[in-house]
C-alpha cells in the first residue's frame, strides 16, 4: 500500500507498479482469476474494428454463447489489463489526439468482472478500498455518480447503489444522480445492459466540485466506471431482467497513473516521457513543453503528442497482426501511420525512418512486446507515404494559389481526389488546411460517408441472397438451460470411416427439443416460417474454426416426402442451431431424419486437411516466423492468411506446392484425438491461432500418432494443430493442390487461395495451354518483325488478350508470375514496333533522306554533317532504318561535299548512324558516295556503312535530286 501526499511532490510510483497493484489486489486479496489481455484484433466479432473495451473478450459469457467446454465458460470473477484501441467506429478519438492532454488512440483498461458471482455491494466496496486505502487517494477528492432512473424507459433510480455508497461513507453531497446518457451502459442496440456508477477525481481538492462532475472539466475527471448488467435490451427496445447478473468495471491505466504521479497530463507520466525524450533526440525542434492551442506555436507540442500516441498504437496493432492496409481496421491503422509520419517530417523535422526507430522505446517502458517486423512494416509504409505527401502538399498549395477563397473553403473534389488517389485521410487534409486557415466544404465528410455507405451497399447486394443466421439471444439460451434442455450431441460429425476407398457417413435420427422463431422459444412453427431448430443430436457440422457449415436437409417421420432444407448451422452456448425454413409445420417432440450432403462435406474435409498441410509447408519453406492470420475452408477452395515480409518468389511457391504434394502422394494417415487442453499445449511444434479453445480440445496430426507426439519432447516435422474441424482420414484423397493466387493483403500479411483435386488438375492443364500460347507468340516475334502497322497492332492486341487470360485464369501462381514477366517483355517489344511503324506511316514511309548544309569550310562541313544526321534520325523514327545523304557547299566555288553514312542507331563512336545493315546490302554507302561524287566530277571512298567524297557542280539541287533517284532505284531492286 502506498503512502500518498497530494500537497508535496508525489513519491515515485511507476506505471508498472500501478498496474501490478491493481491486478494483485483483485487476484490475491479477492480471488479473481488473472486473464491475459486479448489481442486488439477482435476474436470473431465483425461489429468491431478494434478491441475498444475490457469486456470485448468476455462477450460470449455475457451473451450466453460461450462453449460450455471452454475455460471461459467457467469464469466467475476475473481481472486483467486489456489493450484497447479507439480509432474508427463508434469510439473514435483519433482526431482529438494531440490537440489536448488526455485523448489517446491506444490505452490500457484495468478491470474486474463478476459473472453471476458478486454484484453491486462487493464491487463498490472493493473499488473504494483500492482507491483510498491501497493507492492512498484522499476520499475528499472523490465524487460518485449513480443512475437517477428514466421515466420514459420505465427504469427506476438505482437507489440500491446509492445506499451502498452512503453505507461505505461517501457524503451525500458527493453522491450525484445522472440520467441514461451518463449512467446507463448498453452493449449495443440490443443485448445485456444496466445502470452504472462512476468514480470521479478532483485534481484541485479542498473545495466542493460537485457541479463540475460530468461537465468535461479537465479538473474533475472520471477514473472508474462500474457497470451492473441486470437487463437485456430486446429488439423491440423493451427491457427484461437477465437470468444472471454481472459486473463489468473499467479504469484507464493512463488516467490513474496521471493521478498517482501527481500530473495534470497523461503525457507527463512515465508512460510517455521516455517516448517524448526519444522523439526530441531524433528531431530538430525544441524539447516538449506541454503546450496546447495558440500557446503551442508551430504545433510542435501537438506533434510530440501525436507521434508518441500513434507509435504506441502502431506497435501494438502490428504486433497483434493488424497491418496498415486499404479497408477496415487496416485502413484506420494506415491513417494513423500517415498522420504520424506527416507530423514527424513536417513539424518535428525528423529524418526518414525516425518513426520506426521509436519502437524499441516501447520495450523500455515495458508496455508492449517488440519484434523486428514492426519496424520493417512502419519503415516500408513511411517511405511509400512520403512521396504521396510531397505530391499532395504541392497539389494543396497549387489549389490554394489558384482559387479565390472568398469564404475560406477548399474544393471538395480536390480533397476527395487526395483521399482516393494518394491515400490522404480526409482528417489529414482537414488538418493541413486548418494550419493554413482554410476549411473543407461541409459536404466533404458526407462524401466519405457516402463512400462508406456505397461500399456497404455493394457488399449487401452481393450477400442479398444469403439470410442472416437465426441466433438465440441470452434470455433464450438461459431459458433452454432453465428448462433442462441438454446441449446438442454433435459427436456424429466425426464418426465417419473409410470402406474400400469410400467415405461412409453415419445416419442420424433425432428429436426436436426446441424451436426458436427469431425472438423467443416456441413449441411449434407453421409451414413457410423461418426458425432455428435444436435437436438432441446432429451429424451436421456448425460453422466454426474457419470451416463452412454442412449442407443437407431434414425429413419428418410420417412425412418423408417433405424436405426441410438446412440453410445454416451455428453453435451457441453448446447448442447447435439448424436454420430451417419449414416446408410444413414442425413442433417440439417431432422425430426427424437428417440427410447430410456428403459431397459438400467431403469437399470441405479435403480443403481443411489441405489447409493444415499448407500451413506446415509454409513454415518449413519460409521458417518458423510464419504465423497463421486467418483461414476459410469451403467446398470449392481454401483461403489461408499468414504473416510474411513480402510476396513469395516463384521458387518459394514451387517449393511449398512440392512439399504439400509430397505429403499428399505419401497418403499419410491423419490422426485425431481429444486431449486436456493443457496436455495438448505441451506438444512441441504445435500450431495454434488466437482463439478460445474448448477443454478438452481436439488435436489433429498428419502422419504421426498423437501418442507419439505426447511422448516426443523434440520438435516433430509434421503438421499438428488444435482444430475442431472435420478432416480426411488419409491425405491421398486431396489428390493434388495448386496455389492459384498469392498476394499481399497488407504489408506483412499474405493471402493464398488454393484448389485441390480435379480443380487443381484443370489449373495445371490450363497453365500448360497458356504456356504454349506464350511460347508461340515469342517465336513469332523473334522470327520476324511485323511488316505492316495492321499486323503489328493485331499482334499487340493478341498479347494483351493473352495477358488478361494469364492474370485472371486459375493456374499455378508460380507459373502465372513467370508468364506475366515474359508477356511484359513481349508487350514492350511489340509496342516499340508499333510506334516505329506508326511513325513511318505518318511520314509516308520515307526510307531515303537527301539534304544540304551550307558552309564555307570543308572542315566545318565535316564537323556539321554528323550532327545533321543525328537531328534527322531524332526527327522521325522512320529515318532510323533508312538512308541519308547530306551535301555541304564550300565557299563561292560551290564545291560540294558528299558524306554518306550508315550504321546502328546510338553507336557510341558515330552518333549520326542512319544506314541499317539490311539497307547496306542493296545500297552500300561506298557505292552511293562513289556514284554521287562521280556525277559531280569527283571521287569518293569508304565502307558499306561509312563513306565520304568530294566533287563540284554549279547546280547542287540537281545533284541532290539525282542522288535521291539513284538511292530509290537501288533500294527498290
- Rounded Cα distance between 349 and 742, Å, is 38
With b for 16 or more beta-carbon neighbours within 10 A and e for fewer, the 244-269 pattern comes to bbbbbbbbbbbbbbbbbbbbeebbbb
* CB distance 224 to 249 below 8 Å: yes
Provide the greatest CA pair distance for the chain: 129
Beta bridge partners of 896: 889
* Strand-pair category, 33-34 with 77-85: parallel
In 285-371, which ranges are continuous DSSP H helix?
Answer: 300-319, 328-342, 354-357, 359-364
Selection from 829, 914, 920, 827 nearest residue 877 by Cα: 914
How many angstroms from the chain centroid is the CA of residue 332? 10
DSSP 733-784: GG--EEEEEEEEEETTEEEEEEEEHHHHHHHHHHHHHHHHHHHHHHHHHHH-
CB 61 within 8 A of CB 303: no
Find out whether the peptide bond into 696 is cis, omega within 30 degrees of 0: yes
Angle in degrees, 0-180, between the axes of helices 813-842 and 789-808, rounded to the nearest 10 = 160
Q: How many CB atoms lie within 10 A of CB 933?
A: 26
As a whole number of angstroms, the distance between CA 64 and CA 47 comes to 18
Q: Is 608 annotated as a binding residue?
A: yes
Residues 240, 153: Cα–Cα separation, whole Å: 12
Any long-range contacts for 458-462 (C-beta under 8 Å, 24+ apart)?
Answer: none
The torsion defined by the Cα of 751, 616, 493 and 734, in degrees rounded to 10, comes to: 80
Cβ contacts of residue 552 below 8 Å, gap of 6+?
Answer: 540, 566, 594, 595, 596, 597, 600
CA-based radius of gyration for the chain: 38
Report phi then psi at 879, rounded to 5.
-85, -15
Check whether 723 is labelled as a binding-site residue.
yes
Is 612 a known ligand-binding residue? yes
Give the Cα separation of 21 and 429 in Å (integer): 43
Q: How crowded is residue 290: how many other Cβ atoms within 10 Å of its Cβ?
A: 16
Residue positions in the annotated binding site? 608, 612, 723, 727
Residue positions in the annotated binding site for Zn(2+)? 608, 612, 723, 727
Amino acid at each position: 500500500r502506498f503512502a500518498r501526499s497530494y500537497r508535496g511532490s508525489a513519491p515515485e510510483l511507476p506505471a508498472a507498479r500501478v498496474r501490478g497493484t491493481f491486478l494483485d489486489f483483485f487476484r490475491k486479496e479477492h480471488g479473481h482469476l488473472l486473464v491475459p489481455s486479448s489481442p486488439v484484433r477482435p476474436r470473431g466479432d465483425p461489429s468491431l474494428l478494434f478491441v475498444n473495451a475490457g469486456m470485448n473478450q468476455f462477450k460470449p459469457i455475457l451473451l450466453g454463447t460461450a462453449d460450455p467446454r471452454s475455460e471461459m465458460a467457467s469464469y466467475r470473477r476475473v481481472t486483467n489489463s486489456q489493450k484497447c484501441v479507439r480509432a474508427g467506429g463508434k469510439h473514435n478519438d483519433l482526431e482529438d489526439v494531440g490537440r489536448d492532454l488526455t485523448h489517446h488512440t491506444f490505452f490500457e483498461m484495468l478491470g474486474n468482472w463478476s459473472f453471476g458471482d458478486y454484484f453491486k455491494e462487493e464491487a463498490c466496496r472493493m473499488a473504494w478500498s483500492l482507491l483510498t486505502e491501497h493507492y492512498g487517494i484522499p476520499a475528499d477528492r472523490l465524487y460518485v455518480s449513480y443512475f437517477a432512473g428514466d421515466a420514459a424507459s420505465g427504469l427506476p433510480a438505482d437507489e440500491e447503489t446509492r445506499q451502498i455508497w452512503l453505507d461505505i461513507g461517501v457524503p451525500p453531497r458527493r453522491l450525484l444522480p445522472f440520467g441514461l446518457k451518463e449512467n446507463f451502459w448498453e452493449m449495443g442496440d440490443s443485448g445485456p445492459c444496466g445502470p452504472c456508477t462512476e468514480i470521479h477525481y478532483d485534481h484541485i481538492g479542498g473545495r466542493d466540485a460537485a457541479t463540475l462532475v460530468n461537465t468535461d472539466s479537465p479538473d474533475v475527471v472520471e477514473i472508474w466506471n462500474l457497470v451492473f448488467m441486470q437487463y437485456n435490451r430486446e429488439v423491440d427496445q423493451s427491457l427484461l431482467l437477465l437470468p444472471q447478473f454481472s459486473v463489468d468495471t473499467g479504469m484507464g491505466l493512463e488516467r490513474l497513473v496521471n493521478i498517482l504521479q501527481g500530473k495534470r497530463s497523461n503525457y507527463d507520466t512515465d508512460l510517455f516521457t521516455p517516448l517524448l525524450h526519444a522523439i526530441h533526440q531524433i528531431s530538430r525542434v525544441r524539447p516538449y513543453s506541454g503546450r496546447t492551442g495558440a500557446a503551442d506555436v508551430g504545433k510542435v507540442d501537438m506533434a510530440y503528442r501525436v507521434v508518441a500516441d500513434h507509435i504506441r498504437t502502431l506497435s501494438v496493432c502490428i504486433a497483434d497482426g493488424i497491418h496498415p492496409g486499404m479497408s477496415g481496421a487496416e485502413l484506420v491503422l494506415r491513417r494513423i501511420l500517415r498522420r504520424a509520419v506527416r507530423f514527424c517530417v513536417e513539424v518535428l523535422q525528423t529524418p526518414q525512418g525516425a518513426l520506426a526507430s521509436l519502437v524499441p522505446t516501447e520495450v523500455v517502458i515495458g508496455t508492449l512486446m517488440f519484434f523486428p517486423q514492426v519496424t520493417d512494416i512502419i519503415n516500408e509504409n513511411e517511405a511509400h507515404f512520403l512521396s504521396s505527401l510531397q505530391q499532395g502538399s504541392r497539389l494543396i498549395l497549387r489549389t490554394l494559389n489558384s482559387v479565390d477563397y472568398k469564404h475560406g473553403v477548399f474544393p471538395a473534389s480536390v480533397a476527395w481526389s487526395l483521399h482516393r488517389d494518394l491515400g490522404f485521410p480526409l482528417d489529414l487534409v482537414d488538418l493541413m488546411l486548418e494550419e493554413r486557415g482554410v476549411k473543407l466544404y461541409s459536404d466533404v465528410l458526407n462524401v466519405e460517408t457516402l463512400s462508406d455507405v456505397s461500399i456497404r451497399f455493394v457488399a449487401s447486394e452481393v450477400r442479398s441472397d444469403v439470410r442472416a443466421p437465426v441466433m438465440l439471444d441470452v434470455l433464450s439460451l438461459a431459458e433452454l438451460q432453465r428448462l433442462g434442455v441438454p446441449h446438442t450431441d454433435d459427436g456424429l460429425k466425426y464418426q465417419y470411416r473409410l470402406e474400400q476407398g469410400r467415405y461412409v457417413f453415419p445416419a442420424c435420427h433425432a428429436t426436436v427439443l426446441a424451436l426458436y422463431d427469431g425472438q423467443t422459444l416456441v413449441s411449434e412453427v407453421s409451414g413457410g416460417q423461418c426458425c432455428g431448430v435444436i435437436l438432441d443430436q446432429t451429424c451436421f457440422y456448425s460453422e466454426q474454426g474457419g470451416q463452412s457449415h454442412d449442407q443437407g436437409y431434414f425429413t419428418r417421420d410420417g412425412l418423408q416426402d417433405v424436405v426441410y432444407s438446412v440453410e445454416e448451422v451455428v453453435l451457441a452456448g453448446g447448442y447447435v442451431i439448424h436454420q430451417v425454413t419449414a416446408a410444413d409445420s414442425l413442433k417440439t417432440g417431432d422425430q426427424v431424419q437428417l440427410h447430410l450432403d456428403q459431397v459438400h462435406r467431403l469437399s470441405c474435409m479435403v480443403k481443411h486437411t489441405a489447409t493444415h498441410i499448407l500451413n506446415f509447408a509454409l513454415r518449413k519453406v519460409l521458417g518458423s516466423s510464419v504465423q497463421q492470420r486467418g483461414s476459410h475452408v469451403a467446398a470449392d477452395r481454401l483461403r489461408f492468411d499468414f504473416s510474411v515480409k513480402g510476396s513469395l518468389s516463384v521458387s518459394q511457391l514451387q517449393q511449398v506446392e512440392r512439399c504439400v504434394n509430397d505429403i499428399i502422394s505419401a497418403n499419410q494417415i491423419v490422426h485425431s484425438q481429444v486431449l486436456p487442453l493443457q496436455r495438448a499445449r505441451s506438444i512441441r511444434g504445435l500450431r495454434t491461432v488466437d482463439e478460445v479453445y474448448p477443454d478438452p480440445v481436439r488435436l489433429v496430426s498428419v502422419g504421426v500418432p498423437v501418442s507419439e507426439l505426447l511422448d516426443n519432447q523434440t520438435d516433430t516435422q509434421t503438421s499438428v494443430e488444435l482444430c475442431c474441424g472435420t478432416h480426411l482420414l488419409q491425405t491421398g484423397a486431396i489428390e493434388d493442390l495448386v496455389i492459384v493466387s498469392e498476394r499481399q493483403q497488407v504489408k506483412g500479411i499474405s493471402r493464398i487461395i488454393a484448389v485441390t483435386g480435379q480443380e487443381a488438375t484443370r489449373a495445371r492443364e490450363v497453365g500448360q495451354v497458356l504456356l504454349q500460347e506464350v511460347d508461340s507468340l515469342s517465336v513469332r516475334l523473334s522470327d520476324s518483325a511485323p511488316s505492316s502497322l495492321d499486323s503489328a497492332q493485331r499482334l499487340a492486341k493478341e498479347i494483351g488478350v493473352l495477358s488478361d487470360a494469364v492474370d485472371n485464369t486459375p493456374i499455378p501462381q508460380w507459373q502465372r508470375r513467370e508468364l506475366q514477366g515474359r508477356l511484359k517483355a513481349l508487350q514492350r517489344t511489340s509496342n516499340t514496333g508499333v510506334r516505329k511503324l506508326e511513325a513511318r506511316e505518318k511520314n509516308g514511309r520515307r526510307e531515303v533522306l537527301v539534304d544540304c548544309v551550307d558552309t564555307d569550310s570543308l572542315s566545318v562541313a565535316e564537323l556539321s554533317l554528323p550532327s545533321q544526321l543525328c537531328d534527322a534520325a531524332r526527327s522521325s523514327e522512320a529515318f532510323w532504318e533508312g538512308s541519308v545523304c547530306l551535301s555541304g557547299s564550300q565557299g563561292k566555288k560551290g564545291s560540294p561535299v558528299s558524306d554518306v553514312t550508315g550504321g546502328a542507331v546510338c553507336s557510341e563512336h558515330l552518333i549520326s548512324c542512319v544506314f541499317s545493315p539490311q539497307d547496306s546490302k542493296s545500297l552500300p554507302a561506298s557505292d552511293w558516295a562513289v556514284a554521287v561524287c562521280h556525277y559531280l566530277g569527283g571521287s569518293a571512298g569508304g565502307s558499306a556503312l561509312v563513306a565520304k567524297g568530294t566533287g563540284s557542280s554549279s547546280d547542287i539541287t540537281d545533284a541532290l535530286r539525282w542522288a535521291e533517284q539513284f538511292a530509290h532505284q537501288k533500294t527498290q531492286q
